[in-house]
Amino acid sequence: MDLFQHARALYTAGRMHDALEAAQAACDRTPKDPRAWWLLGQISRHTAMPAASDEAFRRASQLDVSLVLPHRVSGDRFRALVEEARHALPEDARRRLAPTAVRAQATPSAEQVRAGLDPDALTLHDHAPQDVLVLFQVNHENRCGTEEALRALLTRSLTCG
C-alpha cells in the first residue's frame, strides 16, 4: 500500500493524527500528486489546522486545475445559507423537513468516523430521540468554489439528507 492509500485508510478509519502524518509523508514523497495535497487539506481541516488545510488545497488546485478551491464562509454565514436554502425549497420538501431539526457541525467527529461515518460525509440523519439532520460545513465547502454552488449543494443536502 502506498503512502497516499495508507493515509486515506487511516483517515476513513478516524485515525486523524496518524492520517495527517501519512498524508504529509505522501506529499513529501510525491509533491506533484494533487490527490495527496487534497487529502492533506481534508485531514488538516479535521485536525483543526485551517491555514495548513488552505495551503494544501491551494497546492492541489495548482497541480490540477479541475480541483476548485473550497469556498469558506463563517459559521454564521453557513447557518444563514442553510436557512435561505430551507426557505427556498418547494412546499412539499419544506413540509417533509418541518419536523426535522437541522443543525450545522464543522466536520464529522473522529468518534463518528470511527463508528463508520465517511469523514467526507455531507450529512448525518439521526432519528433518535428526535429527528435531526446534521450538515457538515467543511465538507460542503470542500465541494464548492462559490457561494452559489454552496447554496445549491445545501439545497440538495436538505432534500436528500
Distance CA 132, CA 124 (A): 8
Average pLDDT over residues 99-124: 95
3-63: CATH topology is: 1.25.40
1 has pLDDT over 70: no
Indicate the residue type of 4: F
> Nearest 5°: phi and psi at 69?
-60, 135
Residue 16: closest CA among 49, 43, 41: 43
Indicate the residue type of 107: T
Query: What are the pLDDT digits (tens) for 116-129?
Result: 999 999 999 987 77
Element (H, E) at 132: strand 132-136
Residue 70 vs residues 45, 50, 65, 132: alpha-carbon distances, Å:
12, 12, 13, 26
146 has pLDDT over 70: yes
Length in residues, the chain: 161
All structural domains of the chain with their residue ranges: 3-63, 75-160
User: Quick one: cell of 60?
Assistant: 492541489
Burial class (CB in 10 A: 0-12, 13-18, 19+), 44: buried
pLDDT at 160: 83
Distance CA 158, CA 84 (A): 11
pLDDT at 129: 79
pLDDT at 54: 97
Round the CA-based radius of gyration of the chain to a whole number and report it.
17
- What is the architecture, at CATH level 2, of domain 75-160? 2-Layer Sandwich (3.30)
Distance CA 75, CA 13 (A): 26
Query: What are the pLDDT digits (tens) for 15-60?
Result: 999 999 999 999 999 999 999 999 999 999 999 999 999 999 999 9
pLDDT at 130: 83
Instruction: Give the confidence band of 161 by pLDDT, cuts at 50, 70, 90.
Output: low
Query: What are the pLDDT digits (tens) for 68-100?
Result: 999 999 999 999 999 999 999 999 999 999 999
